[in-house]
Structures are given as structure tokens and as C-alpha cells.
Structure 1
Amino acid sequence: SYSDFPPEASDLPRVGSYVRLDLERIIELRPDLCIAVKDGNPKATVDRLQALGVPVYALDPRSVPTVIQAILEMGVVLNAEDRAERLARDMRSRIERVTARLSGAGRRPRVFFQIGEAPIVSVGTKTFAHELIGLAGGDNVAAGKTAYPRFNREQVLALSPDVIIISSMDRAGSIEQIRQEWGRWPSVPAVRDGRIHLVDSDLFDRPSPRLVEGLEQLAGFIHPEIFGGPK
């Protein structure tokens, strides 16, 4: 249901959501191959597809390196190795350019990455956003074992983030309104210095090549003195 990039993807048949696959619809399409994701697609549905004779290849992209590895694997499976290798090289090159420019950076600014409003939800250690914050030269103040920890406003104020990144998983919600709400707390360094930024959540929560675009955007927000991004 959320496969909407590139725009042409919207014209493809719908076969359910990430966790609720429409088995009958998939069978009707008579696919030569199904690509599954271990972290999300129900194993029972995947097993059922295989039992019905539908070939399934399961990927497990949980970090930027494993996303790149998944692209290379798909290149082999789909007989598109050259294209996959070019894409992987481009991703690695862009990541290396960011990290190289950060080699002389000093202090790592404290970053709060907000993905939910009521309650306030952030990102823990085992998330793409946490990994990208680190690669972009920041320190995730919500780091910890809980993937998506919840906070009240006072807890966030105590964390005193230098940068607040707002990414709403509610596509219909107004993240601009959330930014305005933070303006009521000028004691927070990120608010005081005008370092509250809105981002496209698709660049941070989907295991795709666009994660690198998210990294480049974050680097500009976290280290504008190096990348020339907005302060």
C-alpha cells in the first residue's frame, strides 16, 4: 500500500500492506517471483505462497550495509547484476563523501528525531534513522534498546537536543504544526537556535537507496558549518 516511489509504482496492482498481504490477489497475478522481507512480511503467508508453488526470495535489510547487500542480491536474482553494482557503488561513494567531510568535525550535536506527536515517539538504536544520525555526525539522544521509545515533553526538554528532526509517520498529519508547538519551549537549544527541521519520512524508514539522500540531508542539518545546510 505504501509503494509509491517512483511515481510509476502507484500504477501497479495492490496486494495488501507490509504486514497484511492479500494472498488471493498475489496468486491471481501469477508472479514469477515474490520478494519478501523477513522483518515484517508474515512468515505464514510467505510459507503459504511457497507451498502453492510461488517462488519467494526473502531479504533482511536492517541497516545501510545490508540494504546495499540486498540490492546486490536482487541484482543476481533478477539478472540485473551490472545495474545493481552501479547502484551499490553510487550509494557507497556518497556515504564515503559524507563521512570524509565529517572527519575533521569536532563536537557531535545532540539530535532528537521525532516520528510521532501523541505520544512523542523517537528512534532507538536499531533503526535506520539512528544509523543515519551517527553517519551524519550527530548523537541520537534517544538511543537505547527500545526501537521506538516514547517520551513526554518534559523528558525531551531534559535531553536538551541541539537539533530536532521531525518526521511524521502519519502521512495525513501536519508536521508543520508540530514544529510550531516546539516553539513554545525556547529553553531547548534546538528551539532557541532555530534548528528544527522537517523531513520526508520515506527517506529514513524505508530500506531503499533513498536512505543515502536522507543521510545527505541530515548531514546538512546537523553540520551546516561543513555542508552549508540551514542552521
Structure 2
Amino acid sequence: MTHRRLRCAVPAVLWVVWVVFSAAAAVSAQTRTVTDPVGRTVRIPEEPRRVITLAPSLTEMVFALGAGHRVVGVSRYSNFPPQVQDLPKVGSYVQPDVEKIVALTPDLCLAVKDGNPREVVEKLERLGIAVYAVNPKNLQEVMETLTALGDVLQAQEEARKVRDRMERRLEEVDRRLRGVERRPRVFFQIGVTPIVSVGTETFAQELIHRAGGVNVAAGPEPYPRFSVEQVLALRPDVIVVSSMEREQVFETVRAEWMRWRGIPAVAFERIHLVPSDLFDRPGPRLADGLELLARILHPERFHGGF
């Protein structure tokens, strides 16, 4: 190479090096390192613009925070708010589709520790996709998760408003139930064949207790199974059927229970249908579930509605 060509090449090489380092610096400046609620140190975009939610509860939270316009993909059973139905689906809660996720070029995936497979999260991270995980177990942790997601999405003020509204609604239920002496015995049915209820470590259990009821299926098993005879022995005052199928399944279940007049809930016709996603999705709509259940268990305290 002649000296003249060398003199021309050196500035060109230096320019390329400068561009590369400048780009790297820009990327670095646009990201930040945070600790997610499950204790993982993760590097996330300063302001995520292409978000994928790997659980219906996360979809609801992001939209509640006013950041729904950033969501480019959701898990299969995400159905609220209604506009999410038109978004690309990236597999189910327990089986996310990595190829579909990658094809949507997200800059952030939101995951749930107890539900989304760990190997999927690790694979996404190896592919250079940031994954921020949460794992709320009760109402208080749901509100803490809203605050955390507000920080991640640069929606802190909206997170504060959503959390404040949720807290006010919970406190209003507490106020109306203050002084309640009799707590109805509740059988909360989430499965038909076999009959499945909810144990102590569930959102439904917390809502039953806070709504002024007693969960007759409380115990260490999260989702215990029962025979009809076992439910008869428990003698619930109220049977609550939680279903995604609404009226279709409810009428079948109700007709089955109506055969057993020895159950107080049947004798006094206190069998109720509730939407399952108000009781098993950790998000703002748990407040809806609590209000609904409180009205079912203690209608005398809610004549004027909320």
C-alpha cells in the first residue's frame, strides 16, 4: 500500500472505530440496570418502546398504567382491555413461543416467575432481549408491582394514581364490612370435573377473607380437589363458581348442586357465578373481584352500591 493510500485509510479506520464506540456509548446511555421484584439484576431500556407481556395479568397492568401503546405482543389468554384481542399472541402463559417473541423485536419482555418457564426467560436473555420478572402473591404485592412497573415504563405518576384508586376501593370495602359478626362459609369452585377449590395461598382466599367470608377449603394445598360428599360435609353457606365460560358452564354446575338440598348454600339458593379473571389475575381488577364478592356475601351492607 502506498503512503498516500495509507494516509487515506487511517482516517477511515478511525472514523469507523469512533462510530462503533459512539453507538455503544449511546446504547449504554439509553439503558439502565435495575433489580426486579424477584431479585434479579437486569439491564433494561431507559424507556421501553416495544414491550411483550408474557401473562394476562401483566397485560392488564401495563394498560392500566397508560402504556398499552407500547405493547407489541401478549400471551394467548390476554383478553382485557378489549383492544388487546387484536395484538399478536406469543404463546400461552406456560409455553411462550420464543420464535414469535423474537420476530416482534421487543426491547423488553415482562414475565412472571411462578408461571413463565425459567428456561424461556434465560433463552430470551441469551438472545439479547431484556426480561423483567415479577411475582406478586397478595394484594399488597400487586400494588408494589404496579409501582415497580411504573418505574420500568417511566409511568410513575400513573402508577401512583392506579395504586391510590385501588387502595381506596379496598379500604371502602373494609369500611362497609366493619363490625360484621357472621362470616358466611364459602366454597369457591374453580373446577367442574373434578371439583376443584382454592386453598390458603391464593388470591381468592385473600379476597374471601377480606370480603367477610370463611374459605371452607382453606389449607396448604393451593387447589384442592373434592368429591360431592366432601362438599356436603363442609356445609358451605355460599357456593361461588368461578369460570371463564360464564353462563354455559354455570347453569350446568348450578343444576348439579341444586340436587343437594342439604347444603345451606343450595337450600337458600346462594349459588353465584363470578368471572375467574377477577380472582386469579394479580392486577387492578382484583378490586372488582373484592367488591363483587363482598356484595354476594353481605348484600345488606351494599344497598347503595359503591
SS in 1 for 2:182: coil
What CA deviation, in whole Å up to 9, does each residue of 1:126-185 have, x standing for no partner?
111111000100000000000000000010011000111001256796122101111111
Specify the alignment match of 2:279 in structure 1.
204
Give yes or no for the alignment of 1:83 onto 2:158. Answer: yes
Task: Give the alignment of 1:30-45 within 5 angstroms.
Answer: 30-45=105-120
> CA 1:171–1:180 in structure 2 vs 1: closer, same or farther (change >3 Å)?
closer
Specify the alignment match of 1:62 in structure 2.
137
Cα distance in 2 between the residues matched to 1:41 and 1:7 = 23
Task: Give the alignment of 1:1-231 within 5 angstroms.
Answer: 1-168=76-243, 174-228=249-303
Cα distance in 2 between the residues matched to 1:65 and 1:57 = 19
TM-score by length of 2: 0.73
Decide which moves more: 84-93 or 60-69. 60-69
TM-score by length of 1: 0.96
Number of equivalenced pairs: 229
1:62 CA displacement: 1.5
> CA 1:110–1:37 in structure 2 vs 1: closer, same or farther (change >3 Å)?
same
* Matched AA of 1:125: T
From the CA coordinates, give the structure whose radius of gyration is larger: 2
* Matched AA of 2:78: S
**RMSD of the alignment, in Å?**
1.4
Q: Which runs of 5+ in 1 are unaligned?
A: none
SS in 2 for 1:2: coil
What CA deviation, in whole Å up to 9, does each residue of 1:23-80 have, x standing for no partner?
0110111101110100100011001111111011101112111111111100000000
Q: Is the 8 A contact 1:116 1:169 kept in 2?
A: no
Cα distance in 1 between the residues matched to 2:245 and 2:117 = 23
Query: By percentage of residues, which structure has more strand?
Result: 2
> CA 1:68–1:175 in structure 2 vs 1: closer, same or farther (change >3 Å)?
same
After the TM superposition, list the runs of 4 or more consecutive aligned residues in structure 1 that deviate by more than 2 angstroms.
168-173
Cα distance in 1 between the residues matched to 2:236 and 2:301 = 19
Q: Is the 8 A contact 1:176 1:198 kept in 2?
A: no
Q: Which runs of 5+ in 2 are unaligned?
A: 1-75
